């Protein structure tokens, strides 16, 4: 009996040790993965060649207007990305409640979203150099007929002291600095403020609009955002401050000190420039420009419309089975949606076809915009078919087609042959064929026996492809954001 017990105990011990060892083996990769991620700082960003910015989609931070990406945070980010010599990838965050999680799970490198510095946030992220100062203000609706009221009469109908917020319903996002301020303010005035929380995908500007329309009575906003919105919603009052001056900054992960230091170094100098002052004036003080943007049909933050030709592009793009927004990005690159443009070389129309190519696909200077777009897409399809036998991946092939549209198919064949000769991949654009195309401006390469079409200013098509793809991503961002609402 004892022997049997000893035997079973031995078996149990072996199994237990094996289980513990197995568990230990499973934990090891997670620890290594975490340690590897902790090294994701500015050197990794430079190695990858891209800075990923988590940004809010709004009328001041980031939007597309008349086909062009714009925004205060966006332009600052572009300047910084150029400073550290990397590309910029903008990642609009639809639900701002998720933004810290996205940063700390390595789905972005920096938060740039008109973000207030708070103690709670500082526990989870590292804030960078002060961007600017603002204060929180109450957004309330002026009474009907306010235009004909004396200032004293108007003030008697508005809240003019924070103590009057007692018992009032104020709508804000739960994870916003506005919510934290209202909680503290409620303690300060010794009375409950009825804080109504909204989902993280409801923007401050949406809440301001709801106040203006009478759908809610009160919300809170930063004064810089509130001020610029008064140019469009002129029946809102923003005179009541509910906080002291607060800092607005970017934020990075706590384990990215070198990125934070680089931002601080750059921003300290950039804030001394005229360009910085101009940017702030452009987005937060130029009321006329803001109003014109917001009421425009081509202000994508409201309409999701990219150009006057969206419907035509959507229809004609069916022939090539590309995303219509990619064609829109190409058209902007070619003509900025101006059908009357004629280049120095004689290319004309929305898609800037050369005369011989235009004739080949059945159009001339009198053709309609729809015919121009159709002809340009037929040419793209022709190029796609020509390259199909060599570049099998359809997504990869798009870059080859765009380059060929810009510089001609012959130069692309040359670059592919050079890539093969120099042991690069002739079926991959980035870092392979693109590099050989850039090299075609050097005698060593354009005089190579495998080259049949001679010299090429290869940097032009290289940047052409890069810019079209980048603009396409912006168009995806803004239209996806509108469609998700």
Catalytic residues: 334
* Strand locations in 20-85 (E): 50-55, 63-65, 68-70
Q: Do residues 220 and 178 touch, judged by C-beta distance below 8 A?
A: yes
126: left (phi over 0), alpha (psi -120 to 50) or beta: beta
Q: Classify the C-alpha dihedral 217-219-223-227 as positive or negative.
A: negative
Residue with tokens 């031995």: 10
- Pick from 71, 42, 54, 58: nearest CA to 112: 54
Is the Cα torsion angle 147, 152, 154, 160 positive or negative in sign?
Answer: positive
Calpha distance 114→111 (Å, rounded) = 9
Closest of 457, 330, 326, 311 to residue 370, by C-alpha: 311
CB distance 363 to 344 below 8 Å: no
Q: Which residues pair with 51 in a beta bridge?
A: 88
Q: Bridge-partner residues for 88, per DSSP?
A: 51
User: Bridge partners of 451?
Assistant: none
What is the distance between the alpha carbons of residues 434 and 419, in angstroms, rounded to a whole number? 9
Per the CB < 8 A criterion, the answer to whether 318 and 376 are in contact is no
Instruction: Look at strands 194-198 and 126-134 and give their pairing.
Output: unpaired
Rounded Cα–Cα distance for residues 473 and 69 (Å): 10
């Amino acid at each position: 009996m004892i022997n049997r017990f000893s035997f079973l105990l031995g078996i149990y011990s072996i199994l237990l040790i094996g289980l513990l060892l197995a568990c230990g083996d499973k934990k090891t990769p997670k620890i290594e993965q975490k340690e590897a991620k902790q090294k994701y700082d500015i050197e990794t960003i430079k190695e990858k060649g891209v800075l990923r910015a988590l940004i809010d989609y709004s009328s001041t931070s980031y939007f597309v207007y008349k086909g062009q990406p714009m925004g205060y945070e966006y332009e600052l980010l572009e300047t910084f990305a150029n400073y550290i010599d990397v590309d910029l990838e903008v990642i609009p965050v639809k639900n701002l409640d998720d933004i810290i999680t996205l940063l700390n799970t390595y789905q972005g490198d920096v938060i740039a979203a008109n973000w207030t510095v708070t103690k709670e946030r500082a526990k989870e992220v590292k804030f960078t150099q002060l961007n600017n100062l603002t204060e929180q203000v109450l957004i309330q609706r002026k009474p009907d007929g306010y235009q004909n009221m004396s200032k004293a009469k108007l003030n008697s109908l508005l809240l003019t002291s924070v103590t009057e917020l007692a018992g009032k319903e104020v709508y804000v996002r739960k994870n916003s600095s506005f919510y934290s301020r209202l909680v503290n303010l409620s303690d300060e005035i010794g009375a409950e403020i009825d804080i109504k929380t909204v989902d993280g995908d409801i923007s401050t500007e949406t809440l301001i609009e709801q106040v203006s329309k009478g759908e809610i009575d009160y919300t809170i906003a930063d004064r810089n955002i509130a001020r610029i919105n008064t140019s469009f919603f002129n029946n809102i009052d923003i005179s009541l401050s509910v906080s002291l001056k607060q800092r607005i900054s970017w934020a990075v992960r706590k384990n990215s000190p070198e990125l934070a230091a680089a931002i601080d170094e750059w921003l300290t100098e950039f804030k001394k420039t005229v360009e910085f002052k101009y940017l702030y004036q452009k987005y937060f003080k130029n009321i006329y420009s803001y109003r014109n943007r917001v009421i425009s049909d081509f202000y994508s933050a409201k309409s999701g419309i990219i150009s006057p030709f969206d419907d035509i592009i959507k229809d004609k793009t069916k022939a090539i089975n590309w995303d219509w927004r990619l064609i829109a990005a190409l058209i902007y690159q070619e003509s900025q949606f101006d059908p009357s443009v004629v280049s120095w070389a004689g290319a004309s129309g929305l898609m800037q076809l050369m005369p011989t190519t235009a004739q080949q696909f059945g159009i001339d200077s009198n053709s309609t915009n729809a015919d121009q777009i159709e002809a340009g897409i037929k040419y793209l399809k022709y190029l796609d078919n020509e390259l199909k036998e060599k570049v099998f991946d359809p997504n990869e092939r798009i870059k080859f087609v765009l380059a060929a549209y810009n510089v001609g198919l012959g130069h692309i064949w040359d670059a592919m042959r050079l890539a093969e000769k120099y042991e690069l991949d002739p079926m991959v654009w980035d870092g392979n064929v693109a590099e050989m195309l850039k090299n075609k401006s050097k005698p060593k390469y354009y005089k190579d026996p495998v080259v049949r079409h001679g010299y090429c200013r290869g940097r032009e098509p290289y940047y052409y492809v890069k810019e079209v793809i980048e603009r396409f991503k912006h168009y995806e961002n803004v239209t996806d954001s509108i469609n998700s609402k």
